[in-house]
């Protein structure tokens, strides 16, 4: 018989029975090698196992006529145990170190033969199955195949085996792990050096692997693994590994029942095996399906899951992505085939995909697509339930969860919207609509705590409008509809959801065992859902209020100005989509959002804004508003400080304008791009003339690049006639200077037409004059003379607009310019001197004639003044002193300021030699400019007239005049910087002018002077400049921030830290220090610039916070030491008196030291919106850095600060100063970082240590109470109205994050006759009320009185706080704690809202003597008793 002949070749009779028993006793794990002679005899036939396999195959059929193989073996005296032992010996041969190709093939063939034996009926009875050997046969499939990524897998497994910090397991030392890694790599290198595989070897091994897998599939069809869960799991593991064993050509079909012998693809065979394992033949209920889904989970996640190891992501290669798609397709088809059984598992699978998602964007996008495809297999009921779960998932505390929820929502929005059927309840029907996804998940994350999530939500909102489905667009339109009756959540609710998100807790139930993941929300969300009224389910609001259009746009403007760069870029993308799709109108206000971001501090945001404007212009090229917004955003960027931004702006201008300037033959009226280019040029000539300077800068850059050819210039000349003439002359004016070949005839013809006709377009006329001036070198002398005569005729007529006058004089200068300087000056003196003489005659006739002003032509006088100023710059020798006097007389005010009571007149030169004039404001304003131009050329007269300018700034009442004076003085600073230094205080005083325009202009001019170093930070200039930070006009304050941080601080990084100490003295108007605040200022200036007192406390601390926020950690560290040495030490050494002013200053100092902005960044931790670092090394580095910085800061605190604090505390206690509260508040905030070291740090003052420790305990207790109260408020959904002006601004709002610590008494409600007492009382009102017992919010009257309403006090002193005292007022005449015996207390209904006052005429009763002992005294007394 052939079968027995094949079996005999296995030499089973020669095998020792003892060896066989040993193999079985060792459970096929550590067996002795087979006798070498027997092994060599078996290996003589390389296909011995394959031949036996073929001869044994007929016995595996279910045909009853076939003789039993077990009978055959028994009749021939062949032991089944020996056969299995020999097969096991060859199977385990592949596990040897560096097995050869022959060993690998024999192992695979022996494993196939063993699995075939298991398939034959009777194998169980003959005890052929052994779990370990079965699992080994499966493992060698991957063991025998050469792994190209062996090193990678070993490194990953090593990395994952080093312990998880979250699980608390101790990891290996880094050195030991590195040594192991080196050893493993050396072993692998040796293996690769010893074993080489040819293509033929690989093909034969693949055939053996395919044969083995086919045998396994035939086995699983008949052999049940119901009682063998470990073996079933091994099959699933191998099949899962084989799904990405090799690429698959075409699509796989899992439902088609093909013979396994015809299937050649290993992934297809693997999925066939998984399909078999999903049957009930291999497990109870859904257990096998659950394990299969769990295995495929990591294929979908593109992760590798080793046994008992943390999953690690795989590189997203084409093979891995293909395997993921096949896994999704397999699950989809198995759900179709076994719907009822697999739907619960599908929901669990989707939850685990969400829960174990990798944070990287490519993995999230892939996972979201997989979730979307699998959700299409869900019926509406399960779909709605999962969307509901997804909504709760989108509010999880982990950032990656909220990000992935947005990705899934975007995929679902791309699918067809489901219609609710009758079987679906109304509480779930709402989850089927795309409206819910848009509003609650995508739009609901717009104000997320994390900037990453905020930005992604805005990005998703923009992408929703690009989807082919119109449903998302429709619901986004509804969001921005002001007439919507079913609006989304209000911004107030959004703020509530942010706070809720911070406290959302997740309860995960056995996630790694592949069970349902339940997300428990905060009770405030559950309460809100229950109050929705119609049972719509958890997290579904009823949109009871309408989200107005203005409110939504305000939110987007806030996001465009977000501190995080990525959020700003995503907000710009969203604004673009909203404008492009008509969701919001293309108004100038909305378009300005994009234009303004082209000047963002971040380079990437600037480029993004320009790209958005480019995209919008492409779509809406016919909109003049869009064109103007594009110009105002892109054109100014050509002078950006970043070269890459300049290049981007130049590229945009080139692509949109220059490229589409075509010649006569190529021009098409219906060409959209050409029409757009000329439309933009027309806007620059009309509405956007202020952009001309930036446009000229672009052309200067292009000129250096030789971008303008002769053909381009001739094309422009052809366009100078007709409707495109303004734009053509604009471009000619920019390129004429750099072009060598021009058609002068056309230009001169245009000039002749311009001279003969009245000035119609001022801009076009100026451009023509510019072109004439640029083409002087190509014009002959006769033509020059004719043009000069034409210009003089124009100018002497004094009928030209002011802009044309300036251009005409400039062209006249260029016509007379020559290489000989004397000839040039003679030409200018002749023609410009003639203009000066004409102006002098006219001014004399008007100003010196008694009746000259009766029929005054205001417009004509302005033109004479303007012509005089422009012409005088070119012929200073022709300007006589008489001209100065005439112009100065115009500035003489018609109403001289009187010496009103209490008003100090400026010490400047009066203009009493002229009688008062009654010139209009516009004339006086132009006279200022003209006089400034005259002063530029005459230094000796400039010195004489500077006091007149300074006087006008101080007493002038006309806005235009004062504005021009500021411009003139700043221009003179460039020409005469040393002379104008003494007038810088006069200029900087304009930062407190009553007119916002003058304040803004002064700010800009001073910034330019400081940048160019024509003005230095001398005197009080910095402090005056800083007062603009609290300007009542928000635009001026924002401009000041920009100037200080983005322009001036970059030039001088030490600017803020150098001036900070003196800021405290200057803003408190404290002048008793020997060094600081010693500036020569008049009383009126001091009063005007002072920020002293309680009313300005909020302004002072806004400046302090701004400066500190821009400090480096080194500067923060040093400033704390300097404050201690320069201020605190002066009070300790009695160099500064502790009077009322000193108390105010000292209170500010302690409040500044308590600010969170002064805390080192390394100590303060991440910002509220920042995510913790995912990298363990980064997290460990941050912890180490914080520990190191903490030690340095602690040393500085002990050596420099604590001695001063202790000495000051004793001094303040002696004076009973209310500043003591500020000192204790500072200690309370500072000692949060040294909570366990209080006694050690304050060893020199045990009483102070006890007080600080007590305060910290009370603070922690109160903080817990605040959180409970806040949670209760959110749960009850109640919001208390805040009356306007109820609390003054206080720095305490930024100390430790404790709001609401202002005193409940209005300033001035109680006054004492003594000034000192009054100052002390005011100081008490500005202290941190209740700082010793910090509270989270202001208590109501009824809460404050709760202690006395129960029948008296409990015998505790007021200095011993308790919970019932939420806030304590330390005023001497008014107390917030009411006595039980107050008259009429119990007779007045509703008396909770009445504050009982004590009459100032009655003497306050003597204070009650309380039996209170300090802990230190009690401790010392007990020691004495023991002695």
486-512 pLDDT per residue, tens:
333 333 333 333 333 333 333 333 334
Mean per-residue pLDDT over the chain, rounded: 75
Q: What is the pLDDT of residue 309?
A: 72
Split at pLDDT 50, 70, 90, the class of 1182 is: low
Q: What average pLDDT score do residues 229-251 get? A: 81
The per-residue pLDDT for 1350 is: 37
Residue 1187's pLDDT is 61
Contacts of 693 (CB under 8 A, 6+ apart): none
Residue 1316, pLDDT above cutoff 60: no
- Give the rounded percent of residues in the chain with a pLDDT score beyond 90: 15
pLDDT at 906 over 80: no
Q: How would residue 965 be classed by pLDDT, with cut points 50, 70 and 90? A: very high
Tokens describing residue 1370? 């330390």
Least confident of 113-127, 580-594, 1390-1404: 1390-1404
pLDDT above 70 for 173: no
Residue 443 is predicted with a pLDDT of 87
Please tell me whether residue 1367 adopts helix, strand or coil conformation: coil
Buried b (16+ CB within 10 A) or exposed e, 1299-1311: ebbbbbbeeeebe
Q: What is the mean pLDDT of residues 91-111?
A: 82
pLDDT digit string, tens, across residues 1-38: 567 776 777 777 778 888 888 888 887 877 777 877 88
Mean pLDDT of 386-415: 91
Name the one residue in this structure whose structure tokens are 């030690």: 1191
Long-range Cβ contact pairs of 645-654 (< 8 A, separation 24 or more):
645/603, 645/606, 645/607, 645/610, 646/701, 648/606, 648/607, 648/610, 649/610, 649/698, 650/698, 650/701, 650/702, 652/610, 652/613, 652/614, 653/698, 654/702
| Contact (CB, 8 A) for 354 and 401 | yes
Q: First-to-last CA distance in the chain?
A: 111
More confident residue, 481 or 1278: 481
Tokens of 444: 């609901």
pLDDT exceeds 80 at position 1320:
no
What's the pLDDT score for residue 246?
Answer: 79
Lowest mean pLDDT among 194-208, 437-451, 758-772, 1273-1287: 1273-1287
Which pLDDT value is given to residue 513?
57
pLDDT class for 1367, splitting at 50, 70, 90?
very low
User: What pLDDT, in 10s, does the model give residues 1028-1067?
Assistant: 999 999 999 999 998 999 889 988 999 999 999 999 999 9
Write out 202-243 in H/E/C secondary structure.
HHHHHHHHHHHHHHHHHHHHHCCCCCCHHHHHHHHHHHHHHC
Is pLDDT of 1426 > 70? no
User: Does residue 633 surpass a pLDDT of 90?
Assistant: yes
Residue 1250 has pLDDT above 70, yes or no: yes
Which pLDDT does position 605 carry in this prediction? 93
**Tens of pLDDT along 434-452?**
889 888 888 888 888 889 9
Q: 586-625 in b/e burial notation, b at 16+ Cβ within 10 A? A: beeebbbbbbbbbbbeebebbbbbbbbbbebbeebbebeb
pLDDT for residue 1306: 34
| 1174 vs 515, residue with greater confidence | 515
pLDDT at position 514: 61
CA distance 62 to 1316: 112
Would you state the pLDDT for residue 852?
59
Looking at the DSSP bridge assignments, the partners of residue 464 are none
Report pLDDT for 135: 84
pLDDT at 60: 74
Q: Write the pLDDT tens digit of every residue in 816-869.
A: 888 888 888 998 889 899 999 999 998 888 888 776 566 788 899 999 999 999
Listed range (8-12, 267-271, 1295-1299) with the worst mean pLDDT: 1295-1299
1004 pLDDT higher than 80: yes
> In which residue are the tokens 């054109």 written?
635
* Best-predicted range by mean pLDDT (762-766, 863-867, 1377-1381, 1411-1415): 863-867
pLDDT of residue 629: 93
Predicted confidence at residue 1335, as pLDDT, reads 33
* DSSP conformational letter for 1333: S
More confident residue, 314 or 549: 314
Is residue 60 within 8 A of residue 120, CB to CB? The reply is yes
Residue 904 has pLDDT above 70, yes or no: no
- Give residue 402's pLDDT band: very low, low, confident or very high (50, 70, 90): very high
What pLDDT is attached to residue 389? Answer: 92
Instruction: Check residue 416 and give its pLDDT.
Output: 87
Instruction: Give the tens place of pLDDT for each residue, 461-474.
Output: 888 888 887 777 88
Kindly tell me if the per-residue pLDDT of 615 is higher than 90. yes
> Residue 573: its pLDDT value, please?
92
Residue 1230's pLDDT is 76
Q: What is the pLDDT of residues 684-731, one digit of tens each?
A: 888 888 888 888 888 888 888 888 877 787 778 778 777 888 888 888
What is the distance between the alpha carbons of residues 710 and 708, in angstroms, rounded to a whole number?
A: 7
Q: What is the DSSP secondary structure assignment for residue 708, as one 8-state letter?
A: -
> Worst-scoring range by mean pLDDT, 731-735, 821-825, 1269-1273, 1325-1329?
1325-1329
> What does the buried/exposed string (b/e) look like for 223-254 if buried means 16 or more CB atoms within 10 Å of the residue's CB?
bebeebeebbbbbbbbbbbbbbbeebeeebeb
User: Is the pLDDT at 164 greater than 80, yes or no?
Assistant: no
Per-residue pLDDT tens over the stretch 66-75: 567 787 777 7
pLDDT of 1235 over the 90 cut: no
pLDDT of 1291: 38
* pLDDT value for 1104: 92
User: Is the pLDDT reported for residue 529 higher than 70?
Assistant: no
Average pLDDT over residues 561-574: 90
User: 3-class secondary structure for 848-864?
Assistant: CCCCCCCCCCHHHHHHH
Beta-strand runs (E) in 403-484: none
């Amino acid at each position: 018989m052939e079968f027995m002949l094949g079996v005999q070749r296995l030499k089973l009779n020669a095998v020792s029975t003892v060896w066989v028993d040993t193999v079985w006793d060792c459970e096929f794990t550590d067996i002795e090698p087979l006798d070498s002679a027997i092994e060599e005899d078996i290996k003589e036939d390389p296909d011995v196992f394959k031949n036996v396999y073929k001869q044994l195959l007929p016995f595996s059929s279910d045909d009853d006529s076939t003789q039993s193989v077990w009978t055959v073996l028994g009749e021939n005296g062949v032991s089944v145990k020996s056969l299995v032992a020999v097969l096991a010996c060859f199977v385990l041969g592949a596990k040897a170190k560096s097995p050869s190709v022959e060993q690998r093939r024999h192992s695979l063939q022996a494993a196939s033969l063993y699995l075939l034996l298991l398939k034959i009926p009777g194998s169980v009875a003959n005890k052929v199955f052994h779990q370990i050997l079965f699992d080994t046969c499966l493992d060698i499939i991957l063991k025998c195949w050469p792994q190209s990524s062996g090193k990678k897998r070993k490194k990953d497994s090593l990395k994952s085996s080093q312990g998880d910090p979250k699980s608390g397991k101790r990891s290996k030392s880094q050195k030991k792990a590195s040594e192991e890694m080196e050893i493993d790599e050396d072993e692998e290198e040796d293996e690769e050096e010893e074993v080489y595989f040819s293509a033929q070897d690989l093909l034969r091994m693949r055939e053996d692997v395919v044969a083995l897998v086919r045998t396994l599939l035939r086995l699983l069809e008949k052999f049940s693994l119901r009682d063998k869960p470990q073996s079933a799991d091994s099959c699933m593991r191998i099949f899962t590994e084989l799904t990405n064993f090799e690429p698959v050509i075409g699509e796989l079909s899992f439902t088609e029942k093909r013979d396994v012998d015809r299937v050649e693809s290993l992934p297809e065979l693997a999925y066939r095996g998984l399909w078999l394992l999903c049957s009930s033949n291999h497990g109870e209920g859904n257990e096998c399906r659950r394990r299969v889904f769990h295995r495929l989970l990591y294929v979908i996640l593109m992760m590798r899951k080793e046994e008992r190891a943390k999953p690690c992501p795989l590189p997203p290669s084409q093979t891995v992505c293909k395997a993921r798609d096949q896994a999704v397709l397999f699950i989809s088809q198995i759900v179709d085939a076994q719907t009822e059984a697999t739907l619960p598992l599908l929901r669990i699978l989707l939850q685990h995909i969400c829960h174990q998602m990798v944070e990287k964007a490519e993995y999230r996008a892939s996972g979201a697509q997989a979730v979307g495809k699998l959700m299409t297999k869900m019926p509406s009921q399960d779909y709605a339930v999962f969307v509901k779960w997804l909504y709760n998932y989108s509010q999880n505390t982990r950032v990656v969860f909220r990000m992935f929820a947005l990705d899934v929502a975007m995929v679902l929005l791309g699918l067809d919207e489901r219609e609710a059927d009758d079987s679906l309840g109304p509480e779930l029907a709402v989850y089927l609509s795309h409206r819910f996804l848009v509003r609650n998940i995508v739009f609901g994350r717009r104000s997320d705590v994390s900037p990453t999530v905020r930005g992604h939500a805005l990005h998703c909102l923009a992408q929703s409008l690009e989807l082919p489905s119109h449903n998302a667009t429709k619901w986004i339109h509804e969001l921005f509809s002001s007439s919507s009756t079913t609006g989304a959540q209000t911004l107030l609710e959004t703020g509530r959801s942010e706070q809720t998100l911070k406290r959302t807790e997740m309860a995960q139930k056995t996630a790694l065992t592949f069970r349902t993941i339940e997300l428990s929300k905060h009770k405030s969300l559950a309460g809100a859902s229950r109050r929705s009224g119609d049972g719509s389910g958890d997290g579904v609001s009823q949109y009871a209020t309408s989200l107005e259009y203005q409110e939504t746009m305000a939110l987007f403007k806030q996001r465009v100005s977000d501190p995080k760069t990525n959020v700003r870029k995503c907000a710009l993308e969203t604004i673009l989509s909203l404008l492009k799709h008509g969701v919001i109108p293309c108004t100038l206000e909305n378009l300005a959002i994009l234009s303004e971001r082209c000047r963002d501090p971040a380079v990437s945001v600037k480029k993004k804004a320009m790209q958005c404007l480019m995209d919008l212009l492409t779509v809406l090229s016919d909109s003049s508003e869009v064109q103007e917004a594009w110009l105002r955003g892109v054109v100014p960027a050509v002078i950006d400080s970043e070269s890459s931004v300049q290049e981007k702006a130049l590229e945009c201008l080139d692509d949109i304008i220059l490229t589409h300037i075509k010649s006569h033959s190529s021009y098409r009226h219906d060409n959209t791009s050409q029409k757009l280019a000329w439309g933009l040029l027309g806007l620059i000539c009309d509405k956007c003339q202020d952009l001309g300077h930036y446009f000229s800068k672009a052309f200067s850059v292009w000129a250096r690049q030789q971008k303008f050819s002769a053909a381009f210039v001739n094309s422009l000349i052809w366009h100078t006639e007709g409707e495109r003439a303004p734009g053509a002359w604009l471009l000619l004016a920019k390129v004429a200077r750099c072009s060598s070949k021009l058609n002068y005839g056309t230009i001169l013809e245009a000039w002749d037409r311009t001279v003969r006709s009245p000035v119609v377009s001022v801009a076009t006329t100026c451009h023509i004059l510019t072109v004439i001036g640029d083409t002087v070198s190509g014009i002959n002398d006769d033509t020059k003379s004719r043009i000069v005569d034409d210009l003089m005729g124009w100018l002497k007529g004094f009928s030209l607009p002011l802009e044309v006058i300036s251009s005409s004089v400039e062209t006249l200068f260029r016509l007379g310019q020559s290489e000989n300087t004397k000839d040039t000056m003679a030409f200018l003196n002749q023609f410009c001197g003639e203009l000066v003489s004409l102006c002098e005659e006219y001014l004399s006739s008007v100003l010196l004639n008694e009746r000259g002003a009766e029929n005054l032509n205001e417009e004509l006088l302005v033109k004479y003044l303007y012509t005089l100023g422009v012409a005088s710059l070119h012929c200073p020798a022709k300007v006589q002193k008489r001209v100065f006097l005439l112009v100065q007389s115009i500035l003489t005010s018609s109403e001289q300021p009187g010496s009103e009571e209490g008003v100090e007149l400026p010490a400047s030169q009066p203009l009493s030699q002229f009688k008062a004039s009654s010139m209009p404001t516009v004339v006086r304003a132009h006279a200022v400019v003209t006089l400034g131009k005259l002063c530029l050329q005459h230094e000796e007269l400039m010195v004489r007239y500077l006091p007149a300018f300074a006087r006008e700034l101080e007493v002038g009442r006309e806005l235009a005049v004062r504005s021009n004076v500021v411009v003139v003085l700043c221009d003179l600073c460039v020409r005469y910087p040393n002379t104008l230094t003494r007038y810088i205080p006069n200029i900087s005083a304009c930062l407190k002018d009553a007119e916002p325009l003058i304040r803004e202009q002064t700010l800009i001019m001073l910034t330019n002077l400081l940048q160019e170093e024509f003005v230095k930070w001398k005197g009080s200039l910095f402090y005056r400049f800083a007062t603009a930070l609290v300007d009542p006009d928000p635009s001026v304050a924002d401009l000041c921030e920009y100037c200080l941080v983005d322009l001036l601080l970059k030039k001088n990084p030490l600017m803020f830290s150098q001036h900070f100490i003196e800021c405290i003295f200057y803003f408190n108007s404290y002048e008793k220090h020997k060094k600081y605040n010693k500036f020569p200022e008049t009383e009126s200036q001091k009063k005007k610039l002072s920020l002293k007192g309680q009313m300005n406390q909020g302004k002072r601390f806004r400046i302090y916070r701004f400066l500190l926020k821009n400090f480096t950690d080194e500067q923060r560290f040093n400033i704390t030491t300097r404050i201690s040495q320069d201020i605190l030490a002066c009070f300790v050494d009695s160099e500064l008196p502790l009077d009322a002013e000193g108390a105010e200053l000292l209170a500010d100092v302690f409040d500044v030291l308590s600010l969170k902005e002064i805390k080192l960044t390394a100590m303060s931790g991440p910002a509220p919106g920042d995510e913790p670092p995912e990298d363990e090394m980064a997290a460990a580095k941050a912890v180490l850095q914080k520990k190191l910085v903490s030690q340095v800061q602690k040393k500085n605190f002990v050596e420099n600060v604590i001695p001063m604090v202790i000495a000051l505390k004793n001094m303040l206690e002696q004076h009973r100063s209310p500043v003591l509260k500020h000192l204790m508040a500072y200690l309370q905030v500072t000692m949060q970082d040294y909570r366990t070291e209080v006694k050690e740090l304050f060893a020199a003052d045990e009483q102070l240590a006890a007080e600080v420790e007590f305060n910290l305990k009370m603070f922690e207790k109160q903080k817990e109470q605040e959180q409970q109260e806040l949670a209760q408020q959110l749960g009850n959904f109640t919001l208390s109205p805040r009356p306007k002006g109820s609390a003054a601004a206080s720095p305490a709002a930024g100390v430790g994050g404790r709001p609401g610590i202002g005193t409940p008494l209005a300033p001035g409600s109680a006054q004492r006759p003594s000034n000192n007492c009054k100052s002390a009382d005011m100081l008490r009102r500005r202290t941190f009320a209740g700082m010793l017992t910090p509270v989270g919010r202001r208590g109501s009257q009824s809460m404050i009185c709760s202690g006395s309403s129960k029948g008296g006090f409990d015998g505790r002193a007021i200095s011993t706080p308790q919970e019932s005292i939420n806030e304590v007022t330390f005023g001497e005449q008014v107390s917030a704690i009411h006595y039980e015996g107050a008259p009429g207390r119990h007779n007045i209904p509703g008396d909770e809202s009445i504050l009982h006052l004590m009459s100032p005429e009655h003497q306050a009763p003597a204070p009650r003597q309380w039996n209170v002992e300090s802990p230190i005294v009690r401790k010392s007394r007990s020691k004495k008793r023991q002695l």
